[in-house]
Structure 1
Amino acid sequence: MKPKSSAWEHVELAAKLADLKEEHYRTVLTLSAVLELLIDKGVLTREELSAKAESIDAQLEQLISASLHPMA
């Protein structure tokens, strides 16, 4: 069995990336639909959603920063 060519590896990688993009699009679309339904039904508001997203983002930034600079 001969090794794969570099060009073929790039083609396979591009195909995998395209599959991931499609999966990501479908996931985001589904999440957006669920959020819109929750807002439409009055379960939560856009302001609550934004506040929670900002809170989670800040927490993740702190975790990432701490992992990159453990002695700081």
Structure 2
Amino acid sequence: MERHRTSMEEVGMVAKLADLKEDHYRNTLALSTLIELLVDKGVLTREEVEQKAAELDSFMAHLPYPMA
């Protein structure tokens, strides 16, 4: 049985997506800031950050179970 959403439910869903987009932006900004500070202070190099990112990305690409 197919359920149709009301206009208010659709507005609520769009508002939730907007909130998620804002949260994503703030998280990305915080991570970028931390990485830049660590590189600027000489704690990490850009190469180390890039290498670790590639390693983690490779790991995530080969998960043994499907992501929903």
Shorter-normalised TM range: 0.7 to 0.9
What does residue 51 of structure 1 align with? 51
The structure with more helix, counted as a fraction of residues: 1
| Percentage identity across paired residues of the two chains | 52
Structure 1 runs (4+) deviating above 6 angstroms are: none
Unaligned runs of 5+ in 2: none
Which residue, 61, 65, 68 being the options, matches 1:67?
65
Amino acid at match of 1:17: L
Q: Alignment length, in residue pairs?
A: 62
Instruction: Give the CA deviation at 1:62.
Output: 1.0
Q: What TM-score comes out, normalization by structure 1 length?
A: 0.81
Q: Hey, what's the Cα distance between the residues in 2 that align with 1:59 and 1:51?
A: 12
User: Normalization by structure 2: what TM-score?
Assistant: 0.85
**Structure 1: gaps (5+ residues):** none
Which structure is richer in relative contact order (CA contacts within 8 A, separation 6 or more)? 2
Residue identity matched to 1:67: Y
SS in 1 for 2:44: coil
